Amino acid sequence: MREDLDQPLFNRALRGRYPPGSTIKPIIGLAGLDQKATTAGHKIFCRGYYSLPGKTHRYRDWKPEGHGIVDMHDAIAQSCDTYFYELAVELDIDNIASTLKQFGLGEPTGIDIGGEAAGLVPSRGWKRANFRDKQDQVWFPGETVITGIGQGYLLTTPLQLAEATAALATRGKRFQPILVKAIQDSLSGEISAQPHIQKEAISGISQRDWNEIIEAMRGVIQDPKGTARAIGYQAPYTLAGKSGTAQVFTVAQDTEYDAEEVAERMRDHALFIAFAPIEEPQIAIAVIVENGGSGSVVAAPIARAVMDAYLTPRESTGMEANAQ
């Protein structure tokens, strides 16, 4: 099992490092609003690609024909890459890095279990410190572009992504995740609850900006063109989410990605983040399906199933009590 190529013993939740893909867009959008790089009403015309000023290279949108005219809400709900390419350039990589770190990305969550990986939030300083070749030490504009859609050097663990989702749900409140709820003394039977450790909150962001992003995440589920509208069908609670599809390798400029022609281990990862209920959040979740393909098709239904089990438990038949 240790030698198996699929690494069945590898703790992916704590140690797996993945590009977050489009699941990062709500945080990028929030950074754009907070730092005045854009407004919620600002609209762009998405023609299916973005090019840096004076350059011919096209950074492609997942939708070849483009999304047409979109604002912030539409760009999150429909996952318009072009909007976030442009916004990332307006923000600049160091400002993006600063906001991502506020959400706990790039460092361990501090969960009460060993072996947690840190993830990676890139910046100019990080690149200078980690690349020896002088040319590679330069931060290129194109690297900022792709960071805007959660690609490039940016890496997160599933647990970090879930913690960041919880911070979105609570509008900036952050708690250290724990596994142990309480400890019982084997002799006295006394039970001591483990304390909830509150981390430094994300401050300075207006309630209006939080609301804009959360409403856009609701749109992912409820809008007619929302990328994960299928999982909202007959949900007995309100939920907000964001789909993501992360590339494992770079597709050449003039090459079309065809999953059927690519080895399974080189296919895109499927991601989805979600929380519910929106009005009073009780659960936040991050799903990553390695080489699963579309986040909205593969990962989103898993998130819905987990939230259904947590928020709408079936009535006890007595078997559960007997088992306990």
The answer to whether the beta carbons of residues 174 and 201 sit under 8 Å apart is yes
Which has the higher per-residue pLDDT, 35 or 324?
A: 35
Does 294 map to a domain? yes
Specify the pTM: 0.90
Does position 6 have pLDDT exceeding 60, yes or no? yes
Does 5 map to a domain? no
pLDDT (average), residues 207-230: 97
Does position 90 have pLDDT exceeding 90, yes or no? yes
Residues 278, 169: Cα–Cα separation, whole Å: 7
pLDDT (average), residues 218-222: 97
Range(s) of the domain holding residue 272:
12-313
Residues 288, 118: Cα–Cα separation, whole Å: 17
Share of the chain above pLDDT 70, in %: 90
In the numeric block, which tokens belong to residue 6?
């699929």
pLDDT of amino acid 257:
47
Residues 62, 60: Cα–Cα separation, whole Å: 6
Which strand (E) or helix (H) includes residue 167?
A: helix 158-169
Residues 275, 286: Cα–Cα separation, whole Å: 9
Query: How crowded is residue 126: how many other Cβ atoms within 10 Å of its Cβ?
Result: 17
Q: What is the CA radius of gyration of the chain?
A: 21
Q: Which phi and psi (to 5°) does residue 87 adopt?
A: -65, -40
Does 3 map to a domain? no
Does 43 map to a domain? yes
Q: What is the bridge-based pairing of β-strands 68-70 and 182-184?
A: unpaired
Digit-coded pLDDT (tens) for 100-151: 999 999 999 999 999 999 999 999 999 999 987 776 789 999 999 999 999 9
Domain count, the chain: 1
The answer to whether the beta carbons of residues 161 and 23 sit under 8 Å apart is yes
Does 290 map to a domain? yes
CA 18 vs. chain centroid, Å, equals: 10
pLDDT of amino acid 321:
39
pLDDT of amino acid 295:
83
Q: What is the bridge-based pairing of β-strands 283-289 and 269-276?
A: antiparallel
Does 320 map to a domain? no
Average pLDDT of the chain, as a whole number:
91
Strand partners, 1: none
Does 1 map to a domain? no
- Catalytic residue of the set 22, 243, 294, 296: 22
Does 318 map to a domain? no
What pLDDT band is residue 237 in, cutting at 50, 70 and 90? very high
Q: CATH number of the domain that 65 lies in?
A: 3.40.710.10
Residues 82, 101: Cα–Cα separation, whole Å: 24
Instruction: Respond yes or no: is residue 51 known to be catalytic.
Output: no
The answer to whether the beta carbons of residues 243 and 300 sit under 8 Å apart is yes
Digit-coded pLDDT (tens) for 66-89: 999 999 999 999 999 999 999 999
AA identity, residue 286: A
pLDDT of amino acid 222:
96
Does position 254 have pLDDT exceeding 90, yes or no? no
Does position 235 have pLDDT exceeding 50, yes or no? yes
